[in-house]
Amino acid sequence: MLKTCLFPAAGYGTRFLPATKSLPKEMLPILTKPLIHYGVDEALEAGMDSMAFVTGRGKRALEDYFDISYELEHQIAGSSKEPLLAEIRQLMNKCSFSFTRQNEMKGLGHAIYTGRGLVNDEAFGVVLADDLCINEDGEGVLSQMTKIYEKYRCSIVAVMEVPREQTASYGVISGRAIDDSLIMVDDMVEKPNPDEAPSNLAIIGRYILTPDIFSILERTAPGKNGEVQITDALKTQALEGMVLALKFKGRRFDCGSLHGFVEATNYFYEREYGKDNS
Ligand code: UTP
């Protein structure tokens, strides 16, 4: 039922400099697939087939990745290398791709607002591809959120418990438990210090947003770090209507940090090749 997934991918990725001087962070590979490919896989699994990207200067590689590479494909046609492209080809056949640019890096909220032209007047998913999520035991995180959306028809954020001392790295929520995994949000703070955090439930890079978020973003003043924060707009939405937080099943790797990136690489390597090495 949700058709579009928005991928804000305009950030500078400074934690991966110098690599990100000329390479979008979202193109860094975990094994042989770039982070953005995992994100699109997850959106597709959740039933979305219209992939919308908010990119920026120096991010052309993202557009090229989801396009045909005639010269290369001609070169390896019929060779043993050709199957290596099978997965991306299949992915390209299953969805459409659209792109817009955020000219100035004014924050995630501003990036999402910039993507409004790619999203029809209907709810949509948001994936921050540097958060790589997996659920070995069942459906992906976005798919879990889609189920909740179908029931409640409001914006949803994915949350996980983090150690208190890490709250300053996340948007943090508080609210009233509806059941073991679902919370009705009543407060949200962007990157609070541990002593100011309303809880230790941190928002990760998966959202489902209802389209009224755009008019809220329009009137949301820059917040933390002078950036337009999606957390601030969601707090308004929670106070004026309803926002839910889902404690998702599965695991999230923070691939925007070196530690998380290496952790994900090791995890996927072990999963893919572990048995061969034993
Ligand atoms: P981050 O703050 O994690 O990303 O933003 P960053 O700025 O790329 O990374 P560092 O901290 O410098 O290493 C979270 C997400 O929001 C997007 C980023 O691309 C990332 O997916 N974003 C952030 C935008 O698209 N535009 C912005 O103005 C800010």
Q: What is the pLDDT of residues 187-205, one digit of tens each?
A: 999 999 999 999 999 999 9
Q: Where are the domains of the chain?
A: 4-157+204-220+250-273
Whole-angstrom distance, CA of residue 260 vs CA of residue 160: 15
Tell me the per-residue pLDDT of 238-255, one tens digit each, with 9 for 90 and over: 999 999 999 999 999 999
What is the rounded distance in angstroms from the CA atom of residue 80 to the CA atom of residue 221?
Answer: 54
Summarised one tens digit per residue, pLDDT across range 140-173 is 999 999 999 999 999 999 999 999 999 999 999 9
Give the pLDDT confidence of 1-46 residue by residue, as tens digits. Answer: 899 999 999 999 999 999 999 999 999 999 999 999 999 999 999 9
How would residue 120 be classed by pLDDT, with cut points 50, 70 and 90? confident
- Say which residues have a Cβ less than 8 Å from residue 15's Cβ, sequence separation at least 6: 256, 257, 258
What is the structure's pLDDT at 274? 86
Give the number of the atom of ligand 1 that is nearest the alpha carbon of residue 129: 21
- Residue 7's φ and ψ, nearest 5 degrees, are -120, 95
Assess whether the previous peptide bond of 192 is cis (omega < 30° from 0).
no
pLDDT for 1 equals 86
pLDDT of residue 278: 54
Ligand 1 site-directed mutation target among 38, 108, 133, most atoms within 8 Å of CB: 108
To test ligand 1's pocket by mutation, which of 130, 209, 231, 252 has the most ligand atoms within 8 angstroms of CB?
130
Q: Ligand 1 centroid vs 230 CA: distance in angstroms?
A: 12
CA atoms within 13 A on the CB side of 265: 14
**Amino acid in the structure at residue 159:** V
- Of the candidates 99, 42, 43, 112, the one whose C-alpha atom is nearest the C-alpha of residue 66 is 99
Q: State the distance from the centre of ligand 1 to the C-alpha of 11, rounded, in angstroms.
A: 4
Q: What is the pTM (predicted TM-score) of this model?
A: 0.96
The CATH number of the domain covering residues in 4-157+204-220+250-273: 3.90.550.10
CA dihedral over 17, 23, 25, 27, signed as positive or negative:
negative
> Do 36 and 23 meet the contact criterion of CB atoms below 8 Å apart?
no
In terms of Cβ atoms closer than 10 Å to its own Cβ (0-12, 13-18, 19+), residue 188 is buried
